[in-house]
């Protein structure tokens, strides 16, 4: 009887679709590598303790990140035009602490966004920055193209056991007037402006070996202080990557924003992934009451998105760049830390990110094994 039971037990893994071959098991990657996506966090996560030097603070932040099993980081970039020497210092400093800097956000070119005098000078600064990024082997440069970001619609909601959620309600800001420094812009104007920008910048990014990732409008409000938003619909995302047909002209695929727009994140991931136009990923979850206008950012494990299905599609599309499990929820442990400040109403900090990373890694390991 014992022999029979033992033989049956050995057969259980095969019955559940798991190979009993040691070679087959070893061939599947379980952790991030060159052929898998890479979980990332923001450099400097957790803040600095008082009275420590910048080098000590950077080393402590890197330890906190690496203790979560994360080896890649992203960051906001310096003022443009970027200089090769400064970027190299940034890359080397992170490397000395065991981290790889793989995405920098570029900003500071409003004249190009709004088609004002000086737009060509702005674009030239962006091109110089991209060339510098290529020289230090920075693979991705992320950017935004907001006429206005509709953050006035954010407010805090209460989630499980009193945790913080981030709500958005278009009714709170839909009648706000344009800001003097931004003005009001039509969709046609914004498409004209970014077309001019992309035709100048993307060829230079190709030469530099750098991929651009445009983040969608988030929140995807229909009108934001009098302006329409080019990245406020999935059709807009598709139009963008068709302006200049190049892997260097890609998007930040945000599965949370996709759901806010009533899109299916798996289908959208497949469309852009099959064309190699996903250059960065934001991995988060939401509950939507009214597409585009009323939604709630919730814990990564409790929203409407099937996060495992999204991760499986990323793996299926052989996506190998960064995945950022962003927008942690506000939990008491973070809120009780001295000097804690949330980036968004209802948002969290290091402990919230630890939860997101653990969940994301479980999804990734399961997807890689499936």
Q: Are 300 and 307 in contact (CB under 8 A)?
A: yes
Q: Is 339 left (phi over 0), alpha (psi -120 to 50) or beta?
A: left
Is the entire prediction scored with pTM above 0.85?
yes
Mean pLDDT of 187-191: 97
pLDDT at 21 over 80: no
- The tokens describing 238, both together, are 């598709």
The reported pLDDT for the residue numbered 46 is 75
* Listed residue (337, 113, 363) closest to 229, CA to CA: 113
The reported pLDDT for the residue numbered 28 is 66
Mean pLDDT of the chain: 92
Percent of the chain with pLDDT over 90: 86
The reported pLDDT for the residue numbered 26 is 53
* DSSP-H helix ranges across the chain: 2-15, 22-27, 54-67, 84-96, 110-114, 119-135, 187-208, 234-243, 255-260, 265-273, 307-316, 332-335, 350-369
User: Measured between alpha carbons, how far is 37 from 335 in angstroms, rounded to an integer?
Assistant: 31
Report the half-sphere exposure of 305 (CA within 13 A, side-chain side).
Answer: 36
User: Measured between alpha carbons, how far is 272 from 260 in angstroms, rounded to an integer?
Assistant: 18
pLDDT at 49 over 80: no
The reported pLDDT for the residue numbered 339 is 86
Mean pLDDT of 24-51: 80
Torsion of CA 45, 46, 51, 56, to 10 degrees: -40
Q: Are 252 and 279 in contact (CB under 8 A)?
A: yes
pLDDT at 354 over 70: yes
Name the strands in the sheet holding 154-158, side by side, starting at the edge strand that comes first in the sequence: 154-158, 164-169, 294-298, 285-290
Give the list of residues 6+ apart from residue 325 with CB closer than 8 angstroms, or none: 39, 283, 284, 300, 353, 356, 357, 359, 360
pLDDT, tens digit (0-9, with 9 covering 90-100), for 92-108: 999 999 999 999 999 99
Q: Helix, strand, or coil here: 72?
A: strand
Mean pLDDT of 145-156: 96
pLDDT at 2 over 50: no
The reported pLDDT for the residue numbered 48 is 66
- The tokens describing 89, both together, are 């210092």
Question: With bands split at pLDDT 50, 70 and 90, how would you rate the model's confidence at 4?
Answer: very low
pLDDT, tens digit (0-9, with 9 covering 90-100), for 302-329: 999 999 999 999 999 999 999 999 999 9
């Amino acid at each position: 009887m014992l022999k029979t039971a033992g033989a049956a037990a050995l057969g259980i893994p095969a019955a559940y679709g798991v190979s009993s071959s040691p070679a087959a098991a070893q061939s599947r990657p379980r952790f991030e590598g060159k052929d898998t996506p890479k979980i990332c966090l923001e450099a400097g996560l957790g803040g600095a303790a008082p009275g420590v030097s910048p080098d000590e603070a950077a080393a402590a932040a890197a330890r906190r990140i690496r203790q979560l099993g994360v080896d890649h980081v992203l960051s906001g970039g310096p003022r443009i035009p970027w200089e090769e020497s400064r970027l190299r210092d940034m890359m080397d400093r992170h490397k000395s602490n065991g981290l790889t800097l793989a995405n920098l956000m570029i900003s500071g070119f409003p004249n190009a966004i709004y088609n004002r005098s000086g737009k060509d000078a702005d674009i030239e600064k962006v091109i110089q920055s991209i060339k510098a990024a290529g020289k230090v082997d920075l693979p991705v440069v992320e950017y935004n193209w907001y006429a206005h970001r509709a953050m006035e619609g954010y407010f805090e909601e209460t989630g499980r056991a009193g945790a913080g959620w981030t709500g958005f309600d278009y009714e709170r800001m839909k009648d706000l007037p344009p800001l003097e420094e931004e003005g009001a812009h039509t969709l046609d104007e914004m498409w004209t402006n970014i077309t001019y920008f992309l035709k100048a910048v993307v060829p230079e990014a190709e030469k530099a070996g750098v991929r651009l990732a445009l983040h969608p409008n988030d929140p995807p409000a229909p009108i934001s202080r009098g302006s329409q938003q080019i990245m406020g619909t999935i059709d807009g995302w598709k139009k963008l990557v068709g302006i200049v047909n190049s892997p260097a002209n890609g998007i930040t695929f945000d599965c949370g924003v996709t759901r806010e727009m009533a899109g299916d994140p798996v289908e959208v991931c497949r469309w852009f992934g099959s064309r190699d136009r996903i250059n960065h990923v934001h991995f988060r979850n939401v509950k939507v009451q009214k597409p585009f206008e009323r939604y709630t950012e919730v814990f990564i494990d409790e929203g409407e998105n099937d996060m495992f299905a999204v991760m499986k599609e990323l793996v299926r599309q052989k996506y190998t760049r960064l995945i950022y499990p962003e927008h942690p929820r506000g939990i008491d442990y973070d809120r009780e830390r001295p000097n804690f400040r949330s980036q968004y109403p209802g948002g969290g900090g290091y402990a919230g990110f630890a939860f997101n990373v653990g969940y994301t890694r479980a999804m990734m390991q399961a997807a890689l094994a499936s």
